[in-house]
Chains A and B, each alone.
Chain A
Amino acid sequence: MSDQVTASTPPPPAVTDAERDELRRQGILLTSLQELYTWGNSHSVWPLNFGLACCAIEMIAASMARFDIARFGSEVFRPSPRQADLLIVSGTVTKKMAPQVIRLWNQMPEPKYCIAMGACAISGGPFKQGYNVLKGIDRFIPVDIYIPGCPPRPEALLHGLLELQKKIQGFKISGPDAPRHLRADLKCDCPVPEFGEHDLEPPANPEVWTAPTLVRSEKA
């Protein structure tokens, strides 16, 4: 058992770690509901079968025999957003495509996660100067994991997936630190932008993204 999980979910004070281990050897598993929930959640992340550009080919390669994403429980690529847990934004999001991506995100049921795969999905990448390219999908939807690369290797995607699993295992299932889908006061939907006259309207979702402020050094 990793240190992180033990730290986040302390066992009842009467039972020490050594005793838990001893009980486990006897065939008795002591665990918390939170641990069980995040364990199951993190090992059955089903991605959406959704490719945008070049990175999608590496995403397919990750699901094939050599890299075999099935080892991590994510081989079930679902064509419908209603059955998927993970949106892998694999490629350049253009301004024409952005409303559809966000609509797909809204159609996915909670709990849902988003991986921005590749330079284009993170920031626009090599096409950033273009007039039709969205400068990062995190302007509109909350992104959990960023995977840099152009395109990232399949191993990088697997690493991103493992990082996502770690993140899920750190979730609390109650209290103010609980993730979005377990809290009534947080919204799960993102507003879908319109394709306006010059740009997307609105150009970003202020709830998930604010323009970085320019910090000047004090030197005059």
Chain B
Amino acid sequence: MSVSDLSSLGSPGGSHVRAVHDEFHGDLLEVSMGPHHPSTHGVFRMIVTLDGETIVKLKPVFGYLHRNHEKLGENTSYLGSMPYTDRLDYLSSMTNNWAYALAVEKLAGQPVPERAEYVRVILAELTRLLNHTCLAGFLMQDCGCSGTPLMYAFREREKILDLFESLSGSRMMCNYQRFGGCRVDPSADWLDGAKKLTDGYGAFLDEFETLLTGNEIIMARTQGVGRLSPALAISAGVTGPMLRATGVNYDLRKVDGYGVYPRFDFRVPLGDHGDVYDRYMIRVLEMRESIKILSQALAGIPAGPIMDPKAKLRGFRPKAGEAYGRIEGPKGEIGFFLISDGSPNPYRYRIRPPSFINLTILEDMCLGQTVADAVIILGSVDIVLGEVDR
């Protein structure tokens, strides 16, 4: 049996390790990693075929967390889907909310007050800090630094979650954005708290980088591992830090200029090699840019209403039509495509999940690497299974 015939050997729910005889390559070993595996960041399964320790084939298996999100969205009112978007990418609920609100606002032609736009930017950048910090912690956990970086990351995450909780009432599932604004007006105290956190975050990043960035073991473990070429990244539709780590300058905050992002001065960090180390570095640099955006937004936030007074929440029925709203989420382009037929529910509700599309090139990055590297390559893709399987 040749290597190309191995796809017939899937072992659905069966034995976990199986030897495959191959007269040219010796014995290949098929290992099923997941759906319960400490490295898979949830319930994701990789069927890895190994020649010794080298990966010759990798088959991802999705769907262990398929929660019928899109079907539920078509049977729920527009506003009723907002809490469900929190549970897509459960580390960054605020950006999911924003992308969905943007799509519905486009559909209904609903304007958003300036103060709400600023609040959205502040919350989105806080979410980016939260997501990238947690990702760096989890990635280092995958590399084998068991505990310490993740502890630091979660210490900072709690500070951001405290802000989210005092604003929206919930730590993780904020359900905060509305069509035409935001649900509650942040108080001056809250803005002060956000400013304090922003001012202190640079010091945390310095501490974090002292621990990790120049670390010899981490450089040896991650540099040159899981390289992705810009051409492949573009043709596969990869977005977000994954794409920018390959050196492609594509950031929706600059390209689309949605919200009030054109008013802020920030740069888009780009990588060189597209390896795991670059993907880690890009996230750290993006966090530093997020701090810049945050301090500008917190300094320039205007007074005014937080909701458009004409915005209609109950009995909301947009005219027939379709709209696609997308923003630069922490993981890439998160978009919602809606078709309305004039009824209270969307006729079609489709999500473009960034981490699912970034995951499609997992095999290309893993081929020829060792099985231990597959773990950190998967970690560097930054998947959240709620979004991958929906």
Q: Are B38 and A79 in contact (CB under 8 A)?
A: yes
Enumerate chain A residues within 8 angstroms of B171, measured Cβ to Cβ.
58, 153
| Complex contact B157–A99 (CB within 8 A) | no
The one of A81, A99, A127 in contact with B13, judged by C-beta atoms closer than 8 angstroms, is A99
Whether A52 contacts B172 in the complex (CB less than 8 A), given A65-B151, A132-B66, comes out as: no
Q: A142-174, CB under 8 A of B: which get 1 and which 0?
A: 000000001101000000000000000000000
Residues 13-61 (chain B) with a chain A CB within 8 angstroms: 13, 35-38, 42-43
A100, B36: Cβ atoms closer than 8 Å: yes
Instruction: Work out how many contacts link A and B, with CB atoms closer than 8 A.
Output: 93
A65 near B155: Cβ-Cβ < 8 Å: yes
Q: Is the CB of A132 within 8 A of B67?
A: yes
* B52-110 with Cβ < 8 A to chain A: 63-68, 71-72, 75, 83-84, 87, 90-91
Contact A66 B172, beta carbon cutoff 8 Å: no
Q: Is the beta-carbon distance between A126 and B87 smaller than 8 angstroms? A: yes
Nearest B residue to A92 via CB reads: B67
- Give Cα distance in the complex from A168 to B357, angstroms: 46
A52 engages B42 (CB within 8 Å): yes
Q: Which of A53, A65, A66, A104 sits near B36, CB closer than 8 Å?
A: A104
B347 within 8 A of A: no
Known contacts A60-B154, A64-B150, A131-B68; is A50 also within 8 Å of B36 by CB? Answer: yes
Q: Is the CB of B42 within 8 A of A97?
A: no
By beta carbon, the residue of chain A nearest B67 is A127
- Residues of B close to A56: CB separation below 8 A: 42
- Measured in the bound complex, the distance between the Cα atoms of B50 and A213 in whole Å is 52
- Is B354's CB within 8 Å of the partner chain A? no
Contact with B along A33-75 (1 / 0, CB 8 A): 0000000000000000111111011101100111000000000
- A129: Cβ under 8 A from any B Cβ: yes
A/B interface sample: 13 pairs, CB < 8 A: A53-B65, A54-B172, A57-B91, A60-B150, A60-B154, A64-B151, A79-B38, A94-B63, A97-B35, A127-B68, A130-B67, A130-B68, A131-B68
Interface residues of A (CB under 8 A from B): 49-54, 56-58, 60-61, 64-66, 79, 81, 91-92, 94, 96-97, 99-100, 104, 126-127, 129-133, 150-151, 153, 195
Q: Which 3 A-B pairs have the closest CB atoms?
A: A130-B68, A54-B90, A64-B154
